[in-house]
Structure 1
Amino acid sequence: MEFIIENWPLIVAALAVIAAVVVAVARFVGLPTEKQLAKVKEWLLWAVTEAEKDLGGGTGKLKLRQVYDLFVQRFPWLAKAVSFELFSSLVDEALDEMREMLDNNQAVKAFVEGPSNE
């Protein structure tokens, strides 16, 4: 009982964090599958863009590994349910979208390639 009295602020804070996580997961799981997949695809687009920025061209396997590691950190429960083959195909879709953005959007191109030396 003394432990509870001395540490009640930490206990309340821990319960609040746990409740927030449960609510966030429940909201995500409660979304229809198409919306869940759309959110993951949006995140993957960001992740492949960051990998392209960090590693540059010609580093496909390294970029895939970096994106997969980030995916496992961000969505550990989903990483257990998604096969690597499905994940790889989703990454390919995100890469295609990123390449299209690089071709059509100078701001994205400047973000990925860094400032030009012109």
Structure 2
Amino acid sequence: MIRQLSIRTNSQTEFIDITGKIQEIVGSSQISEGICCIYVPHTTAGITINENADPDVVKDIIKELNKIVPLTDSYLHREGNSAAHIKAGLMGTSLHVIVDQGRLLLGTWQGIYFCEFDGPRNRKVVVKMIEG
């Protein structure tokens, strides 16, 4: 089963907690045990698992990514979004989460974040459930 989420981002750089939406897909799949594969088909956006209890963690991650990869830095890419490409590469484009008893097997403080680095845009997240 493959499902697709549509996400509208509102800022140039933004982390959106999509854990609940992914869990809805897992629940509707009626797969009790398996793997949930989550894929972002974009070159300037990514995905990550991190703490979702304190919103300051996301703010800190964005702040530090902006230090490591500044928006402007004599990049050669003519589109002007090289920083977004680099940050997306650092985050990665896919995750695999174990599903147990119809639930994502995440740690107590973990959430799944869609990471926008070239927004605002309309984005997609592809989710595939694998039973097993």
Q: Report the TM-score when normalising by structure 1.
A: 0.31
Greater RCO structure (CA 8 Å; 6+ sep): 2
Normalized per residue, the structure richer in strand is 2
Normalized per residue, the structure richer in helix is 1
Q: Report the TM-score when normalising by structure 2.
A: 0.28
